[in-house]
A and B are shown apart, each in its own frame.
Chain A
Amino acid sequence: MMNNSNEQNVKKYKSVKTSKSVSTIISYSLLVVLSLIWLIPIIWILLHSFRAEYNGEFFVGVVVGDYFPKSLGLENYISLFKDTLFLTWFINTLFVSVFTFILSTLLTLSVAYVMSKLKFKARKTFLSIAIILGLFPGFMSMIAIYYIIKAIGLSQSLFALILVYSAGSGLGFYVAKGFFDIIPNSLMESARLDGATNSQIFGKIILPLSKPIIIYTALLSFIGPWMDFIFAKVILGEEPERYTVSVGLYNMLFGSQPDENLFTVFAAGSVIVAIPIVTLFLSMQKYYVEGVTAGAVKG
């Protein structure tokens, strides 16, 4: 055994090498195929937002069988701003998301900080209640809020939507709590010895150290209203002037008066919404991964 081991090793090395390169090829081809599958719908929408085809003098905006458009132009984007209320919807969404991100960030960070760093009697109880409430589906409370809106006859407004988005955000404190947990307690203790109050410690020591988590919380709550479809559809009612982009674009294709010819315009609107959101999201991907992992592991 020992005598011919050298020879065997060489053989083994060669076969390992070939099997390695085979597995590399398989890995890459799998990744390419999967990426294509994942990109097909996205590229399709992007391409068709620039499609400018005419049938005689009529503009063809419907879904067609060809994956690649025959001719390109900016007609859809022009029509989006000229013929639809897209600009209003865009401003509405911006309005909602600015207020939502201010309110949610404040609520989320304060709850997270309390749960992480402040010691008081009912802390454990609060933590348990918050975790259990936080795991309940938001969809349920949305339907419940709809009942109340119906009962009061409250005018369905953007303000209601802001409140719905941000009021429950205190329950989404988990990721931020994980961040605060890492900040050493000794920092707070030494500040205490210097006579700082709890609010001063929070404002002058903790917050300046917490830039990443503030940015993460703020960006995620800012993106929320651009991503959400169903809350906006339920809360905002039927007034087109009050739509957010998601409801407006959905109603182009599947509303009470859908227009199949608006598909390419829908695509153009989607691209305009998607570009800033995707950019924001990818810029904070790192934090997002940390959040997803932490949330999953802690349950």
Chain B
Amino acid sequence: MEIKDKLEDKKSRETSRFLSFFKKIGINIKTSFKNFVNRFKDGSIGTKLSHFFMGAGNFYHKQFIKGVIYLSIQIGFLTLLIASPKVNNTPIGFKSLVNLITLGTEEGSFELGIPTDNSMLMLLFGVIVIGLLGMFLAAYLSNIKSSYKADLDVKANKKPTTFKEDIASMLDERFHTALLTPAIIGIVTFTILPTIFMILIAFTNYDKDHQGEELISWVGFENFTNIFSGTGEIANRFLPVLIWTLIWAVFATATNYIGGILLALLINKKEVKGKKLWRTIFVLTIALPQFITLLAIRSLLRTDGPINQILMDLGLISEAIEFLGNANSPWLARGMVILINIWIGVPYTMLMTSGILMNVPTELYEAAQIDGATKRQAFFNITIPYIIFVTTPYLITSFIGNITSFNVIFLLTNGGPKVSGGWQAGETDLLVTWLYKLTIEQKDYNLGAVIAIFTFIITATATLLTYRRSKAFKEEDAFQ
């Protein structure tokens, strides 16, 4: 009974930790709404007016520049929303919100000179307008806050801050805002916005048959059911690619991890001289661009290349082996890419392990020595467990890295050997290289987006696991 209770308790703690995140959000929303109401009740006339005309409170407190900035934000945004100016013949404004739902209705007519609605642009503008709406809301709230803050300053017999002081605070108390803003803008426009856009495309019929002068429409989960549960060719191809991706990730991670640790231990042996030189030889692999080394290896392994020639000269084989493209033995190509990946990946783990070996806490060895442990015992009971303990988070990140590793497969085999009618997915294609082919070569953007979302979910799950692990890691400090 007791154990069961404990387990239950642990479980409920885990869930509560998870729920507390959402609770916090809920509380935040609640308090900000309360503050919103309170500010309206307690604020000066200026603050009250700020709820309708942005910047009014700032004018009231003679903070003219700030007032003008807020007012122009409001005027600018409302003008954009109402006027919905056309960019590339597609309106951006409140009409975008309507267009986001319809994705365009005008099929266009060549004779009458009416262009077809540009569905993709409508989708993009819809997302952008929603984003702008969010930003406007933030500006609106900050406008009220700034006026309310000036109210409080006046109440406390202080002067409301001048614009100059505000700027100065950006370089001092609010320096973090100044430093973070450019990075956040970059991440929002180049990571978050595109990702949202891509996710939405997965729910449309934007494929190779809907290019150019064709309207695109929402299709719900059709693409997902086509890939995951359909009986079509693409559904048949999905499972093998997924399984091979996982096999690849497991083997690529394991071989690099074990190989790298062994190599580091070998180089770090006491009797080995010239450690720096040995390390540098292997580090060359990291320093050289992969498009050079991988294409070199691909050429070395050609049927008319040197490796086959040498093997034939030595009499080990009678005819040239097609290492990377033999459609009859896909496992040869698969084995080869995992093998070659050792060449690429082992030096990273070697470098990392070398760094860790230098940082093994010396107290551990001293304690072991006092207890009378031999060197060998110290090695197996301290060094090895320490390395494994410290590198566990790395194992998970490198597993994620291997699921999305693109270069090795693309540059070595380009996914080949080919599978007939395999929706372009060859025998060594991973989800990401297949995704590349589906989108960039075949222009089936919707299917590509589904694969992308799926890969995203796999990696995100693993990422969250890592994150929690590494956090637990910091808190527990089991080794110290």
Measured CB to CB, the residues of A under 8 A from B are 20, 23-24, 27-28, 30-31, 34-35, 37-42, 44-45, 63-67, 106-107, 110-111, 113-114, 118, 120, 123, 126, 128, 131-133, 135-137, 139-141, 143-148, 150-153, 163-164, 166-171, 197-200, 202, 226-227, 229-230, 234, 246, 249-250, 253-254, 263, 266-267, 270, 273-274, 277-278, 281-282, 285, 288-290, 292-293, 296-299
Contacts and interface: CB of A to CB of B under 8 A. Distances in A.
Given A140-B195, A167-B187, 12 more contacts: A20-B271, A39-B284, A41-B343, A45-B296, A114-B179, A118-B175, A152-B121, A163-B190, A198-B175, A270-B292, A273-B289, A282-B287
B473 interface: yes
Interface in B434-480: 435-436, 439-440, 445, 448-449, 452, 455-456, 459-460, 463-464, 466-467, 469-470, 473
Nearest to B193: A148
A254 to B, nearest CB: 7
Shortest Cβ-Cβ A-B pairs, 4 listed: A299-B393, A170-B183, A299-B470, A293-B355
B194 A133 contact: no
A44 B400 CA distance: 32
A137 B404 contact: yes
A184 B280 CA distance: 33
Nearest to B177: A120
B367 interface: no
Contacts of A140: 195, 198, 404, 452, 455-456
A193 to B, nearest CB: 14
A199 B167 CA distance: 12
B182 interface: yes
B194 A111 contact: no
Contact of A126 (B173, B180, B292, B455): B180
16 contacts: A27-B269, A35-B278, A64-B304, A64-B306, A135-B400, A135-B463, A137-B404, A147-B201, A147-B445, A150-B120, A198-B173, A227-B290, A250-B291, A278-B284, A296-B356, A296-B390
A237 to B, nearest CB: 10
Nearest to A294: B355
A282 B283 contact: yes
Given A126-B180, A131-B467, A139-B406, A274 B289 contact: yes
A268 to B, nearest CB: 11
A199 B411 CA distance: 46
Contacts of B341: none
A274 B293 CA distance: 10
A85 to B, nearest CB: 17
Interface of B: 88, 120-121, 123-124, 168, 171-173, 175-176, 178-180, 182-184, 186-187, 189-191, 193-195, 197-198, 201, 263, 266-267, 269, 271-272, 278, 280-293, 295-297, 299-300, 302, 304-306, 308-310, 343, 347-348, 351-352, 354-356, 359, 390-391, 393-394, 396-397, 400-401, 404, 406-407, 410-411, 414, 432, 435-436, 439-440, 445, 448-449, 452, 455-456, 459-460, 463-464, 466-467, 469-470, 473
A149 to B, nearest CB: 9
B466 A135 contact: yes
Contacts of A202: 175
Contacts of A171: 187, 191
B346 to A, nearest CB: 9
Nearest to A153: B88
Give chain A's interface secondary structure class.
Answer: helix
Given A133-B187, A133-B191, A168-B191, A45 B292 contact: yes
B467 A144 contact: no
Give chain B's interface secondary structure class.
Answer: helix
B313 to A, nearest CB: 9
A128 to B, nearest CB: 8
Given A27-B266, A66-B306, A146 B439 contact: yes
Given A31-B266, A143-B439, A170 B172 contact: no
Contacts of A37: 343
A189 B470 CA distance: 31
B180 A41 contact: no
B176 A167 contact: no
Contacts of A285: 280, 283
A30 B467 contact: no
Contact of B289 (A144, A168, A227, A282): A227
A249 B290 CA distance: 12
A79 B88 CA distance: 44
Given A65-B304, A168-B190, A230 B407 contact: yes
B190 A147 contact: no
Contact of A23 (B271, B297, B302): B271
Contacts of B459: 136-137
Contact of A277 (B187, B288, B359, B445): B288
A110 B179 contact: yes
